[in-house]
Amino acid sequence: MTYDTLATDIAACRLCADRFAGTATGHAPNPVVWFRPGARVLIASQAPGMRVHKANRPFWDASGKRLREWMGVDEATFYDRERVAILPMAFCFPGYDAAGSDLPPPRICAATWRDRALAQLPDLRLTLLIGAYAQGWHLGGRESVTARVAGWRDHAPAVFPLPHPSWRNTAWLKRNPWFEAELLPVLRARVREVLA
């Protein structure tokens, strides 16, 4: 399968239409496809949020700004699909539950598309695993996000487990100062090396 065919098929996917219609947001699927062959950095994340759903651009919110700071890249580099692939565990915003919290990414998305998408990215040299769902899929096991991120040296320099860059994790960052002091300088250096 060619990249163009795969990207077209993912963009047209409606596997979760009934599921999304039944959420508190009652929205239609809108797969956000943001990768191309040749990319060297993979950002494996959870699922788009509502802002991404509306903008058709991944990490188009405050969490994207924080993630770019963590990586040490500017917006143009981050959104260059031929250098950075953003491949979430689900391509669509999964909706909110009745309490207004994000629903988890539907498993059917990764089961249907993930291996085919990764096969289009043979030049990857660095993978950032953001959050529990991406870490579980790529690393296996049942460790907590904190344990996986604390064990980052076990996977570097090819893989860096990261917490979600959401503002909701600001307290986590304060409780774990080693993340900014020890992990981020190594991550930034590795991103520079891979993208050079």
Model pLDDT for residues 11-52, shown as the tens digit of each residue: 999 999 999 999 989 999 999 999 999 999 999 999 999 999
pLDDT tens for 131-154 read 999 999 999 999 999 999 999 999
List the CATH number of the domain containing 123: 3.40.470.10
pLDDT at 125 over 90: yes
Helices (H) and strands (E) in the chain, counts: 12, 4
The residue among 150, 170, 99, 123 whose CA lies nearest residue 3 is 123
Positive or negative: CA dihedral 102, 20, 142, 86: negative
- Structural domains of the chain, count: 1
- For residue range 78-115, list pLDDT tens digits in order: 999 999 999 999 999 999 988 888 899 999 999 999 99
User: By residue range, what is the domain housing residue 76?
Assistant: 3-195
Pair type for strands 41-44 and 126-130: parallel
